[in-house]
């Protein structure tokens, strides 16, 4: 199937062609036709499946079709995301896909001054991408009004609940027009997610791809068993032995991320840590450096992982095994995206064996054990 067969308009096809996207992903094939018909959507899909385009493309097309000449700009589409990183990523996507359509959008999130965000909103926008806290704050100040919203997207709803945003979300939803089109996306369909979805969706179409138990088919997975104290030396060995010069490394804690980045820099390997304790500027700077490859290694915690979207990332290393098996799936989903191949390497100490067994049970797949290495 091609994007043309999905009946997308020429300006969108041109933008997709420029990005080198040839074929729609399964979530795009399933979602776009229904959204173009005005249906509500319940989408079960994790990051890396192309879900941003699955809602951004049809929203842009519907807005273009309903555009009236000389109409005052009002916020017609609201996309709610759990983290600054994800909100920024969605904003970048809207900019790229909509570059030939002339719509204006803004992204708002906390942790930084609201000044520039307010200036953008007051200049008039059509699309708003926001995190719940800052959105509510600007609504309470009377800067943002949601009375004209026609399209509402709740992205990574499971993550919203995990992060304790349920009350903020309910306050935002209460201010939306009853007559609207809603798109609800979550990596899981847990009971609390379904309960929330049922309160905000109207006769939705359900679409689902890649349940959380599945791992990217193009990702080669391997594990090294090693004593905890020898992990830094083994990590250095792996990076040098395999000539890996662009890699995302995961730790369980913020302290662990800082420690790994520090150890790598001591080995003369350029690394930065990214986690919740870092300022927004530091996080954006590190992510930008990693994307443009001025930084070779990015060390992240799970909370940061879903907001990281890097084209052609070949390697992910689990320096520490996550306690939740689902987190492993999300982590390794950072590589092997958009049809590219990728590799996920895990470093597992004796203490982490129960977590590792939980992962194998969830993914129902054997992970290659690398027995021959200097630190076994």
Q: What global pTM score does this model have?
A: 0.66
Give the Cβ contact number of residue 141 at 10 Å: 10
Confidence of residue 77 (pLDDT cuts 50, 70, 90): very high
Q: What pLDDT is stored for residue 328 in this prediction? A: 87
**Looking at 90-94, 128-132, 251-255, which range is the least confident one?**
251-255
Is the pLDDT assigned to residue 211 strictly greater than 60? no
- φ and ψ at residue 113, rounded to 5 degrees: -60, 145
**What percent of the chain is modeled with pLDDT above 90?**
60
- 230-261 pLDDT, tens digit per residue, is 999 999 999 999 999 899 999 988 899 999 99
Across 327-343, average pLDDT: 79
Q: What pLDDT is stored for residue 28 in this prediction? A: 93
Domains annotated on the chain, with CATH: 4-208 (3.40.50.300), 219-369 (3.40.50.300)
The owner of tokens 């129902």 is: 364
Q: What pLDDT is stored for residue 36 in this prediction? A: 96
Whole-angstrom distance, CA of residue 252 vs CA of residue 229: 16
Is the pLDDT assigned to residue 55 strictly greater than 90? yes
Confidence of residue 139 (pLDDT cuts 50, 70, 90): very high
Confidence of residue 349 (pLDDT cuts 50, 70, 90): very high
Is pLDDT larger for residue 55 or for residue 162?
55
Q: In Å, how far are 183, 208, 302, 356 from 306, measured between CA atoms?
A: 19, 18, 7, 21
Q: What pLDDT is stored for residue 96 in this prediction? A: 94
Per-state percent for the chain, helix, strand, coil, to nearest 5: 45, 15, 40
Q: What pLDDT is stored for residue 307 in this prediction? A: 60
Output the CA torsion sign for 210, 216, 222, 228.
negative
Is the pLDDT assigned to residue 56 strictly greater than 90? yes
Q: In Å, how far are 15, 32, 49, 60 from 53, measured between CA atoms?
A: 12, 9, 9, 10
**What percent of the chain is modeled with pLDDT above 70?**
94
Confidence of residue 185 (pLDDT cuts 50, 70, 90): very high
Whole-angstrom distance, CA of residue 353 vs CA of residue 88: 36
């Amino acid at each position: 199937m091609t994007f043309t067969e999905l009946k997308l308009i020429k300006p969108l096809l041109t933008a997709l062609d420029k990005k080198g996207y040839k074929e729609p992903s399964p979530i795009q094939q399933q979602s776009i036709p229904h959204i173009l018909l005005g249906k509500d959507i319940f989408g079960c899909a994790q990051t890396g499946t192309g879900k941003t385009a699955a809602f951004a493309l049809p929203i842009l097309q519907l807005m273009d079709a309903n555009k009236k000449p000389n109409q005052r700009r009002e916020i017609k589409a609201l996309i709610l995301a759990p983290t600054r990183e994800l909100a920024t990523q969605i904003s970048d996507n809207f900019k790229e896909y909509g570059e030939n359509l002339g719509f204006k959008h803004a992204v708002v999130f906390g942790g930084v001054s609201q000044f520039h965000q307010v200036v953008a909103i007051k200049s008039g926008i059509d699309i708003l991408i926001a995190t719940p806290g800052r959105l509510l704050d600007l609504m309470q100040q009377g800067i943002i009004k949601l009375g004209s919203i026609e399209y509402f997207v709740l992205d990574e709803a499971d993550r919203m609940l995990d992060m304790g945003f349920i009350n903020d979300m309910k306050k935002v939803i209460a201010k939306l027009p009853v007559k609207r089109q809603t798109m609800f996306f979550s990596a899981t369909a847990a009971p609390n997610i379904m309960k929330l979805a049922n309160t905000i969706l109207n006769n939705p179409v359900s679409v689902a791809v890649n349940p959380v138990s599945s791992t990217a088919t193009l990702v080669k997975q391997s594990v090294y068993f090693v004593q905890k104290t020898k992990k830094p030396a083994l990590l250095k060995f792996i990076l040098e032995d395999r000539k890996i010069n662009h890699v995302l490394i995961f730790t369980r804690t913020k302290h662990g991320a800082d420690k790994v980045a520090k150890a790598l820099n001591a080995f003369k390997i350029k690394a930065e840590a990214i986690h919740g304790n870092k300022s927004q500027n530091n996080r954006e700077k590190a992510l930008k450096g990693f994307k443009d490859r001025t930084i070779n290694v990015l060390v992240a915690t799970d909370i940061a992982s879903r907001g990281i979207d890097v084209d052609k990332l070949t390697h992910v290393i689990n320096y520490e095994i996550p306690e939740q098996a689902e987190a492993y799936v999300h982590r390794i989903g950072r590589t092997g995206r958009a049809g590219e191949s990728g590799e996920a390497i895990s470093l597992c100490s004796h203490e982490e064996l129960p977590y590792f067994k939980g992962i194998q049970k969830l993914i129902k797949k054997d992970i290659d054990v690398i027995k021959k290495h200097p630190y076994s």
